[in-house]
Structure 1
């Protein structure tokens, strides 16, 4: 029995004009912590968020374009990945929803994609064809309402959609409504069916979320007021119940800040969140019984505006994408206490917004 060889590739999406490179591919050496550029793709405007299907070696990116009427709309592109060469090749690109998008996610069975439109206040469900291409738009769910912040929350602003571990539900964080809306995925009919919703505290501005590996807890990072809300999660009904909220900032910090990304270690022991303004990663330890959080560390991201970050699949490293300083900074992770340490290594990437490290078989 042979062990399949794997290669760790890192895919980065960025703000870019269509004639500029916007999607980047790097090989990552886990012994040295070094990123080496292997490919880049030009042709998409603002391919900011990515999703990778490792099994089928496919990459999905959002982008923006204009329709026949000259109105800005969402677009999605599919790429095939050559793991050995570290290169990508465009399969197809299609218009998605009638507004620009900020997030893309794939369901557990790789049959559907969901795109999220912050400016349009909507979620789109897309078909993935048998050959992995972007298919037709199957369903669009429009949000309605507002919350308390006069500028940030005057209308719906869904910022992300994440499928539950079992693939039955889709959780949509709506920054403009201070709500997380849960949809059931009706795979047979290609529909999103509104299941339930939970209200966060006014002015929170939920942006992204992450599921605990135990499937019983969800952690949501709130962009507007720089907090994380912990929830219990009922996998049978898809319902959330708030447990606590904690600040992502040191008590002494009084300047402007907004949060962006959140993730959890594979063992479920540590939650990580990013601060833009304080320009840091905050680390929390997770109580194994209650799921509640306790502060471990704040560490500089060695750059400005950490729009996104990700742990490598092994959990040995964290990569921080700093949009305003045009760099991806590399940190090691101490698995005994969750703490991060800057390696001194960083690569220049124009306006990075999303970073996806993933093992691919050769």
Structure 2
């Protein structure tokens, strides 16, 4: 339960070179709607995506490094979070897989992290020690094949991975294959075992996934054709089944567009997806019985290329990271789930990920 005196922090990842800031800790003031930076960290190349574990006061980031041969490789960094200030102190840095990565996720017990490589076509898991440090590489799953689009789907391009609530399954969205590839997690052998392939329509380009809070449905946002696919989810068997696919764009829009992030309200009543090109957040009402979607709103993000966005834990605000216009924009959330621009922005260079959390 939250209280009015809890501090609301926002952790930010961005595209950056090592000689400039790339990871930011900021504080959000709900009374004024303003966001201000309290710490910035440099020395990290493209620390674009973060994962925050407030229960253990840890944070994790992807990054890029050069391996012994000078080739690009993935790196992950672990940080401790000061419980009084929310500021970060690095614990360790570790090479992950033999390619750059675009996403990082953590299992429910904080025993492993998973990194996803768009360019390498693979997903890798690494152990987490009790002190929060990143340990050895446990497993790598290399995808194979291609999709419908000869330019964007010439090979596998996994874009994200998400664990089931109990950590038994890992769902990998492969934009290049138009597939959600589900792995069963062998927690004793620390391996990923192929479990199910959910084939989406050709040219979809699945990017990110979110589960309904009741775990009966899942939603995947498709980057290439600007759609969201609704899936029924059997949490006991770890199986997905397609229910419907809807557009993320208003009727009549003819411009270029690519989707990015998707999230759902804590009560499961409203779903949100970002459009890059139309530069908007699409808002939907969720039918409680079927999980299906009804369009409610397309709201301008007051910037360009909304790579990521997130709702605050109290469900009162949305923060949108616009990569190409270097701004994070604040919206209030109305009772009907629609968004309203507050007039407040924070300038940040090439923001990619925003994670709002309460500091206990």
Fold-level match, TM-score > 0.5?
Answer: yes
Which residue of the partner structure matches residue 190 of structure 2?
190
Which residue of the partner structure matches residue 293 of structure 1?
293
Q: Deviations over 1:227-281 (max 9, x none)?
A: 0000000112211110000000011210100000000000000000000000000
CA distance in 1, matches of 2:43, 2:297: 40
CA contact (8 A) 2:86 2:359 kept: no
CA contact (8 A) 1:77 1:92 kept: yes
TM-score (norm: length of structure 1):
0.97
Question: Superposition pairs for residues 59-138 of structure 1, below 5 Å?
Answer: 59-138=59-138
Offset at residue 82 of structure 1 (A)? 1.4
Offset at residue 6 of structure 1 (A)? 3.3
Which residue of the partner structure matches residue 354 of structure 1?
353
Secondary structure of the equivalent of 1:343?
Answer: strand
Which residue of the partner structure matches residue 237 of structure 1?
237
CA distance in 2, matches of 1:235, 1:166: 9
Offset at residue 357 of structure 1 (A)? 0.3
Question: Superposition pairs for residues 196-345 of structure 1, below 5 Å?
Answer: 196-334=196-334, 336-345=335-344
CA contact (8 A) 1:257 1:278 kept: yes
CA contact (8 A) 1:205 1:225 kept: yes
Moved over 4 A (4+): none
CA distance in 1, matches of 2:80, 2:30: 24
In angstroms, what is the RMSD of aligned CA positions?
1.1
Offset at residue 84 of structure 1 (A)? 2.5
CA distance in 2, matches of 1:78, 1:359: 19
Offset at residue 5 of structure 1 (A)? 6.3
Structure 1 gaps of 5+ residues are none
Structure 2 gaps of 5+ residues are none
Which residue of the partner structure matches residue 30 of structure 1?
30
Which residue of the partner structure matches residue 57 of structure 2?
57
The count of corresponding residues between Structure 1 and Structure 2 is 358
CA contact (8 A) 1:330 1:342 kept: yes
Is 81-90 or 139-148 further displaced after alignment?
81-90
CA contact (8 A) 2:220 2:262 kept: yes
CA contact (8 A) 1:172 1:180 kept: yes
Secondary structure of the equivalent of 1:124?
Answer: strand
CA distance in 2, matches of 1:360, 1:347: 20
